[in-house]
Amino acid sequence: MTEQQQQVNMTGWAGKIADTIMSQCDSDGYHDYPMERWAYVPGMLLMAMARAGIQLNEKRYYHFMQLHMDHYIEADGTIRSYTLEEYNLDQINQGKNLFFQYENTVEKRYSKAADTLAAQLISQPRTSEGGFWHKKVYPFQMWLDGLYMASPFLAEYAKVFDRPELLSEVAHQLLLVERRTRDKRTGLLYHGWDESGEQEWADSLTGLSSHFWSRAMGWYAMALVDCLEHFPVDHPKRGTIIGIFQRMCHALVDVQDQGSGLWYQVLDQGKRKGNYLEATGSIMFVYAMAKGLRLRYLEPGFRNAMLQGYEGIIRHLVTEDSQGVHLHQICHGAGLSKDRNGSFDYYISEAVVSDHYMGIGPLLLASLEVERYLE
């Protein structure tokens, strides 16, 4: 065991992670991966870098976000490679960076791009109760993933552009998916819900998928704390959202692995053969708890679980070498469709990788939150 593994330093990781990302760029600050297309993983990485630039007072991190976002936003506010009529919630996530840009420049192209994304959500296809379909090609389906992709964007849009009625829409989405996917016995949330009951992965009676996937709940946990930051204290649904967040965190603590502080890929079946301690879900839970503690959405009793989780991430999932910080045990991707049936065997069969921005982006966000909480 290395000295690093024996003595886990809880601070300083955010800067090292951001520096690692920057080291993979050319001399002008360009990085190939975020340039591939307008998408949720690059968008999350760019948001993490922007926050790092602000919190750590390092302009080059913020410039990284600005440089790559400007690859997509045309002078008239058009978003390259984006199509509203796809009605895909994943395509909203990168738009969270538009608020940084608009605040710092007041350029109309950024507000127009944000208007376009908001227009998608206002006209998004819906379930009979008004829940956003995850995508047009996934009719009558709500996935936990989609709440993170779209809801914090819409909440911030409502605040920045004085559209308070949209906060009620945000609250409706957050509360509806929780009511529809929450298991009363464990308090955990199923990955997806199909109102039509037509999908092969959906239970014929409930429409629910079969298991509690760690990253799906991670997306939802982050969605709650990121949305709440934009709700005024007198909003009639704010207290309810805080209440379901705390209730959910209790359920997550109940399935936290006490030996490592981490969480399993399939949350409630830690000892089942093939299951493993997964990076992204663990990191997202730490992020949400750290931010919830800092903003007092959570009681102080969650501090130990959060710190144990972060220590477990650094101790068991992170390594360092001359190339920088590396993250391991990342589920490359999972979803629900005809060939992705939501079974236990399916979730543990997806590729497990290292250093994917699906994990590095959340790791930077979580490190920033932990360091901010501990300062």
Distance CA 118, CA 251 (A): 33
* Residue 134 DSSP class: S
Residue 189's domain comprises 3-374
Q: What is the pLDDT of residues 130-153, one digit of tens each?
A: 999 999 999 999 999 999 999 999
* The model's pTM: 0.96
CB 228 within 8 A of CB 245: yes
Q: Is 32 a catalytic residue?
A: no
Q: What is the pLDDT of residues 168-210, one digit of tens each?
A: 999 999 999 999 999 999 999 999 999 999 999 999 999 999 9
Give the pLDDT confidence score for residue 7 in this predicted structure. 60
- C-alpha separations of 128 from 176, 178, 204, 228, 333 in Å: 11, 16, 18, 25, 29
* Catalytic residue, candidates 90, 145, 194, 226: 145
Question: Which SS3 state, helix, strand or coil, does residue 148 take?
Answer: helix
**Apex CA 94: angle with CA 91 and CA 95, to 5°?**
95
Give the pLDDT confidence score for residue 30 in this predicted structure. 72
- Quote the number of domains for the chain: 1
**Apex CA 364: angle with CA 251 and CA 103, to 5°?**
105
Q: What is the pLDDT of residues 16-51, one digit of tens each?
A: 999 999 999 887 777 765 567 899 999 999 999 999
CATH number assigned to the domain comprising residue 234: 1.50.10.10
- C-alpha separations of 278 from 234, 264, 265 in Å: 38, 5, 5
Question: Three-state SS string across 207-266, please?
Answer: CECCCCEHHHHHHHHHHHHHHHCCCCCCCCCHHHHHHHHHHHHHHHHHCCCCCCCCCECE
Distance CA 210, CA 258 (A): 25
- C-alpha separations of 371 from 138, 201, 279, 337 in Å: 39, 40, 19, 38
Q: Distance from CA of residue 242 to its chain's centroid?
A: 17
Helix H segments across the chain? 3-6, 13-23, 40-55, 59-69, 97-105, 108-122, 144-160, 165-181, 214-228, 238-254, 279-294, 303-312, 344-349, 357-374
Give me the residues of the chain with pLDDT under 70, please.
1-7, 32-35
